[in-house]
Amino acid sequence: MDIWVYDKTFKGFLSLVFDCYELKTFPEKITGKDDVQPSVFHADYEVISDECKAKRVWNGLKKRISDSSCHMLFHVFLSELPDIELLILRYIKNVFESSVNVEMNFGNNDILEMLKIARKVVREAQRIPMFVRFQKTADEIYYASFDPRYDLLPLVIKHFEQRFADQKWIIYDTRRNYGFYYDLKKASEITFTESLTNSLTGAIDQSIMDKDEQLFQELWKSYFKSMCIKERINPKLHVQLLPRRFWKYLIEKQTGL
- Segment 21-33 mean pLDDT: 93
pLDDT in tens, 68-106: 999 999 999 999 999 999 999 999 999 999 988 888 888
pLDDT in tens, 196-247: 777 666 778 778 888 888 888 888 888 888 888 888 888 888 888 888 888 8
DSSP state, 186? -
Give the per-residue pLDDT at 209: 87
List the alpha helices (DSSP H) in the chain: 10-23, 51-64, 67-78, 84-97, 109-131, 153-163, 213-227, 235-241
- Pick from 114, 132, 140: nearest CA to 202: 132
| SS3 of residue 129 by DSSP | helix
Asked if 161 and 182 count as a contact pair (C-beta separation under 8 A), the reply is: yes
Give the per-residue pLDDT at 41: 58
Over the range 53-73, which residues count as b (16 or more CB within 10 Å of their CB) and which as e? Answer: bbebbbebbeeebeeebeebb
Residue 183 β-bridge partners? none
Pairwise CA distance, residues 16 & 2, whole Å: 13
Give the per-residue pLDDT at 116: 97
Pairwise CA distance, residues 157 & 182, whole Å: 10
Q: CB burial class (10 A; 0-12, 13-18, 19+) of residue 209?
A: middle
Predicted structure pTM score:
0.86
Pairwise CA distance, residues 177 & 2, whole Å: 30
Q: Is the pLDDT of residue 181 over 80?
A: yes
All structural domains of the chain with their residue ranges: 3-124, 132-255
Pairwise CA distance, residues 229 & 60, whole Å: 55
Over the range 176-188, which residues count as b (16 or more CB within 10 Å of their CB) and which as e? Answer: eeebbbbeeeebe
Q: 67-78 and 109-131 are packed helices; what angle lies between their axes, rounded to 10 degrees?
A: 70
Q: 10-23 and 67-78 are packed helices; what angle lies between their axes, rounded to 10 degrees?
A: 110
End-to-end CA distance of the chain: 51
CA-atom Rg of the chain in angstroms? 22
